[in-house]
Amino acid sequence: MKLVSRPSGKEKWTKEFTCEACKAVWEVEETDLKVYNYAVSYAGETWEPEIVFNCPDCHTTNRVTRNLPSGMRDLLLEKACRRRRS
């Protein structure tokens, strides 16, 4: 498949997010995103992943799972799940 054009004119995906803690606005790229497991494990391992970015200013972890394109979100979570199992 060959890309003809992107409506945004950008070469890769980016989106602006505001840090929950310090309110700094960041242009986040896909490579800035990480999967973090927020589950608390007591008797067995639990998997409740969220996609996050870390604010370079205040080092706060910001959850952005619901603000991503569904295909990107699903791919990131799937890769993290595979790494977790191996």
Helix (H, G, I), strand (E, B) or coil at 13: coil
Q: What are phi and psi of 54, to 5 degrees?
A: -100, 130
* The pLDDT of residue 23: 98
* The pLDDT of residue 61: 97
**Amino acid identity of 38?**
Y
Indicate whether 33 pLDDT > 90.
Answer: yes
The stretch 1-7 carries a mean pLDDT of 77
Indicate whether 53 pLDDT > 70.
Answer: yes
Length of the chain: 86
* The pLDDT of residue 39: 83
Say which residue, 75 or 37, is predicted with more confidence.
75
Helix (H, G, I), strand (E, B) or coil at 76: helix
